[in-house]
Structure 1
């Protein structure tokens, strides 16, 4: 107990490298997630536009429901 207690302990270069590696891995993960979410939103928009166009398309004469409404 009676020694020199002014010894400073820090994480050093290895602590910095580990923290930097984790931050870099998170950055790549978030970037990938953002890309996938944008791709999903784009395909959902295409599907909803395609569904609206299919609903508004005129029906042919061979459709029994469409011909019964005339």
Structure 2
């Protein structure tokens, strides 16, 4: 979501080093949301709220979605 709101179409890629403060802020928010989604599922597995299948399904879908988004 941060990419859609802040990055804009004039930036060539999220992996580029050029940009202003808003582009850097967008990259920070995107990284934070990615880490948060992994951390929440890991915490839930550690607390035995979800099983291994749920964790594996989440991580697999996470890998597929973010492989094609970035």
Taking structure 2 as the reference length, the TM-score comes to: 0.40
Taking structure 1 as the reference length, the TM-score comes to: 0.40
Structure whose CA Rg is larger: 1
